[in-house]
């Protein structure tokens, strides 16, 4: 059973399509990264999964149960952290979590002990003041605590590291990785380094659809053969190399970096062959030549183009 | 039910912390104290100020109750509606409902808890205001009983509860708080027009706001039953509409 499954989900706002047939499957367990540029529809996708938005077509299922707009039954196993969590400012963190526990149907004693455990986990155990006095980072951490309160099987986080400083970002990512050991975490972001750091699987949303999805290692491997990097001893050698007719078909995608350059092509084998032929013909002795794995940023940018 | 009670407790706590309850209490208690004194001594005060106004015929306890109900039903209720105008819409625009709803709080429970908290605060301020008015009127007009006062107070309270129901509907329908107040005002105006003449006149809930006439005994308690039933029906319909509107609303 998948933690989250979406089939053919379409959403349009004022006639403008935002999601145009999203098919997404988030398997149980681990951390799943959901990436896309700003305005791609990541938040919209999450809102459909949470029953906060009615799709124009398609359906979503959480842990096998169909999600219905306005009905929060599927949310009993889901914890949600929005991109900017808003709380009741007149409450303390402890009181707010107590309210969340009551709303979720948890017992008072259980809520109290779980709240204390989570406030300690997120570093808010000593924060006694009202939430209105919390910093952005403290609110984010309280948001994580409330998302985990009822021990959900699926935790949905919408840009959890946005507006955090580097230390805060690292703490939140470590926390998400820890949570992913016992539950499924789906988190959206446009910070690709965050995804590479903690995610096992990733989906890229582009053009209203999931353009690419799967295990990060598999995605890299599938596209890895089409990149060749060569390093030479001097700039003149690099210029001579890139001027060779064998490399003209690939020169448009060349990325120079000092005395090395990376070329991409759909057919990696042909590219390697052309590169080696160009080196021989130019009489250039390279420092190194080899295939390279694409970074997540490479994969993302390829989909964007 | 548990979610409803938990959210209701939150609402009441917020009404206290945000001083809405304090403002309403000050308002109705102030009207309860001021109306009898102003009724009793206004002509003397004006004469002492040399305004040229001569002392008029002595005012009675019924006049004082009439003044209180006019002020409380007019100014008091209007300010109450303004204080609670954004009861749903403001929380939606702030985004604080998102985590509650995604946690499993049913949307009808949100609407009902907000209406209940508004009614509870209104009740907690209305009746002490009436009690203060009763005390001061009894002090300033000893021995002058006004048997219709309790019926007038109860009728106006029911009208207030109905207005709060319409206000919650407006707050679920519109993003702007003032639009909810306009809706409540428009409903009251329409009901007042209906009470003026025609077949619906005996049924109109606006008759419940004629506190002066009820207190003075000009309107019998029995004739208030149809408007009371109609007010209950209007309130129930408004709340049903509020639940339907909020259930469709995008958070």
User: CA angle at residue B117 from B112 to B119, to 5 degrees?
Assistant: 95
- Flag if B3 and A87 touch (Cβ within 8 Å): no
Residue A190 has pLDDT above 90, yes or no: no
pLDDT for res B196: 80
Task: Please tell me the least confidently modeled range out of A196-210, A217-231, A236-250.
Answer: A217-231
- Report the C-alpha gap between B204 and B162 in whole angstroms: 12
What pLDDT is attached to residue A298? 67
Q: Is B13 on the interface with A (CB under 8 A)?
A: yes
**Position A222 confidence tier, pLDDT thresholds 50, 70, 90:** low
**Other beta carbons less than 10 A from residue A92's beta carbon:** 16
> What is chain A's Cα-based Rg?
24
Name the residue among A85, A90, A103 with its Cβ closest to that of B6. Answer: A103
Provide the pLDDT for residue A217.
74
Mean pLDDT of chain A: 85
- Choose among A52, A72, A143: nearest Cβ to B105: A72
Q: Are strands A209-215 and A201-206 parallel, antiparallel or unpaired?
A: antiparallel
Could you give the percent of chain B with pLDDT greater than 90?
71
Mean pLDDT across A136-155: 92
For strands A30-35 and A57-62, give the pairing.
unpaired
Contact A86 B99 (CB under 8 A): yes
Q: B96: nearest CA in chain A?
A: A86
* Band of pLDDT at residue A251, cut at 50, 70 and 90: low
Find the closest chain A residue to B3 by CA distance.
Answer: A103
Please compute, for residue A99, the number of CA atoms within 13 A of its CA located in the half-sphere on the CB side.
Answer: 25
**Per-residue pLDDT, A196:** 83
Chain B residues touching residue A106 (CB < 8 angstroms): none
The H-or-E segment that residue A43 falls in is helix A42-49
Please enumerate in sequence order all residues whose Cβ is within 8 A of that of B36, keeping only pairs 6 or more positions apart, or say none.
B64, B67, B68, B133, B136, B137, B139, B140
Q: With respect to CATH, is domain A2-221 assigned 3.40.50.10800?
A: no
Q: Is residue A180 over pLDDT 60?
A: yes
Asked if A93 contacts A122 with a C-beta cutoff of 8 angstroms, the reply is: no
Are A90 and B101 in contact (CB < 8 Å)?
no
pLDDT at residue A193 greater than cutoff 90: no
Q: What's the rounded Cα separation, in Å, for the pair A148 and A79?
A: 6
Q: Is B180 on the interface with A (CB under 8 A)?
A: no
Catalogue the E-assigned strands of chain A: 2-13, 16-27, 30-35, 57-62, 65-66, 78-81, 154-158, 184-189, 201-206, 209-215, 227-231, 255-257, 260-264, 288-291
Contact residues, chain B, for A90 at CB < 8 Å = 13-14, 17-18
B108 touches chain A (CB under 8 A): no
**Average pLDDT of chain B?**
91
| Structure letter (DSSP) for residue B58 | P
Amino acid B111: pLDDT: 97
User: In the predicted model, what is the mean pLDDT of residues A259-266?
Assistant: 72
pLDDT at position A225, please?
57
Tens of pLDDT, residue by residue over B101-120, are: 998 899 999 999 999 999 99
pLDDT at A265 > cutoff 70: no
Q: Across the interface, which of B6, B102, B104 has its CB nearest the CB of A99?
A: B6
Q: Best interface-test mutation with A: which of B8, B103, B114 has the largest number of A CBs within 10 A?
A: B103
A97 exposure class (CB count in 10 Å sphere: 0-12, 13-18, 19+): buried
pTM of the model: 0.83
> Region A90-108: what's the mean pLDDT?
94
Topology at the third CATH level for domain A223-304: Alpha-Beta Plaits (3.30.70)
Q: Does B1 touch chain A (CB under 8 A)?
A: no
pLDDT given at position B137: 95
Least confident of B45-54, B205-214, B229-238: B45-54
- Chain A residue with minimum CA distance to B251: A52
Beta bridge partners of A81: A157
Q: What is the percentage of chain A residues whose pLDDT exceeds 70?
A: 87
pLDDT at A103: 93
CA of B127, closest CA in chain A: separation in Å? 28
Q: Tell me which chain A residue has its CA closest to the CA of residue B99.
A: A80
Chain B residue closest in CA terms to A78:
B103
Q: Which strands, in side-by-side order, build the sheet including A16-27?
A: A16-27, A2-13, A57-62, A65-66
| ipTM above 0.90 for this complex | no
- Give me the residue from B3, B14, B248 closest to A103, CB to CB: B3
User: Is A100 in Cβ contact with B98 (below 8 Å)?
Assistant: no
A119-133 pLDDT, tens digit per residue, is 998 889 998 899 999
Residue B55 pLDDT grade (very low, low, confident, very high; cuts 50, 70, 90): low
CB B76 within 8 A of CB A76: no
- The whole-number pLDDT of residue A280 equals 76
For range A114-143, the mean pLDDT: 92
- Vertex A145, ends A142 and A151: CA angle to 5°? 165
Q: Residue B38 has which token pair? A: 């102003």
Give per-residue burial for A6-35: e unless 16+ CB within 10 Å, then b. Answer: beebbbeeeeeebbebbebbbeebbbbbbb
CB contact under 8 A, B107 and A53: no
Q: Look at A80 and B247 and tell me if their CB atoms are within 8 Å.
A: no
Q: Give the span between the Cα atoms of A231 and B124, in whole angstroms.
A: 81
């Amino acid at each position: 059973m998948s933690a989250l499954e979406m089939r053919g989900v379409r959403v349009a706002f004022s006639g403008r399509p935002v999601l145009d047939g999203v098919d997404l499957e988030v398997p149980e367990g681990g951390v799943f990264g959901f990436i896309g540029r700003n305005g791609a529809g990541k938040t919209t996708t999450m809102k459909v999964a949470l029953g906060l938005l009615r799709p124009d077509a398609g359906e979503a299922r959480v842990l096998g149960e169909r999600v219905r707009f306005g009905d929060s039954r599927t949310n009993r196993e889901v914890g949600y952290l929005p991109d900017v969590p808003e709380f009741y400012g007149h409450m303390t963190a402890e009181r707010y979590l107590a309210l969340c526990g009551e709303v979720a149907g948890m017992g008072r004693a259980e809520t109290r002990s779980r709240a204390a455990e989570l406030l300690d986990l997120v570093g808010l155990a000593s924060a006694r003041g009202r939430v209105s006095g919390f910093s952005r980072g403290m609110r984010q951490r309280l948001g994580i605590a409330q998302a985990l309160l009822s021990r959900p099987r699926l935790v949905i986080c919408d840009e959890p590291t946005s507006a955090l400083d580097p230390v805060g970002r690292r703490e939140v990512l470590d926390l998400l990785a820890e949570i992913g050991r016992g539950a499924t975490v789906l988190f959206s972001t446009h910070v690709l380094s965050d995804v590479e750091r903690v995610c096992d699987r990733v989906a890229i949303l582009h053009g209203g659809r999931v353009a690419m999805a799967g295990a990060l290692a598999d995605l890299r491997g599938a596209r890895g053969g089409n990149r060749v990097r060569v390093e030479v001893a001097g700039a003149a050698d690099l210029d001579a190399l890139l001027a060779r007719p064998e490399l003209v078909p690939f020169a448009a995608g060349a990325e120079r970096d000092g005395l090395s350059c990376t070329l991409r092509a759909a057919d990696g084998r042909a590219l390697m062959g052309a590169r080696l032929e160009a080196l021989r013909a130019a009489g250039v002795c390279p420092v190194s030549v080899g295939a390279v794995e694409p970074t997540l940023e490479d994969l993302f940018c390829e989909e964007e183009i | 039910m548990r979610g409803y009670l938990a959210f209701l407790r939150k609402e009441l706590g917020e009404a206290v912390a945000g001083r809405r309850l304090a403002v309403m209490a000050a308002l109705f208690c102030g009207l309860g104290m001021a109306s009898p004194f102003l009724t009793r001594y206004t002509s003397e005060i004006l004469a002492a100020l040399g305004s040229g106004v001569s002392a008029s015929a002595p005012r009675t306890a019924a006049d004082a109750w009439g003044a209180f109900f006019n002020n409380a039903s007019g100014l008091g209720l209007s300010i109450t509606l303004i204080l609670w105008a954004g009861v749903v819409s403001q929380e939606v625009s702030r985004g604080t409902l998102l985590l509650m709803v995604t946690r499993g709080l049913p949307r009808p429970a949100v609407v009902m808890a907000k209406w209940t908290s508004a009614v509870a605060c209104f009740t907690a301020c209305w009746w002490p205001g009436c009690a203060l008015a009763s005390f001061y009127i009894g002090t300033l007009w000893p021995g002058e009983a006004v048997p219709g006062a309790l019926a007038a107070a109860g009728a106006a309270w029911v009208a207030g509860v109905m207005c709060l129901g319409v206000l919650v509907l407006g707050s679920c329908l519109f993003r702007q708080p003032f639009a909810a107040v306009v809706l409540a005002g428009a409903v009251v105006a329409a009901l007042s027009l209906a009470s003026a003449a025609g077949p619906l006149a005996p049924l109109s809930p606006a008759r419940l706001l004629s506190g002066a006439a009820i207190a003075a005994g000009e309107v019998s308690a029995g004739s208030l039953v149809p408007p009371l039933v109609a007010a209950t029906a209007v309130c129930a319909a408004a709340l049903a509409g509020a639940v339907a509107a909020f259930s469709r609303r995008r958070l």
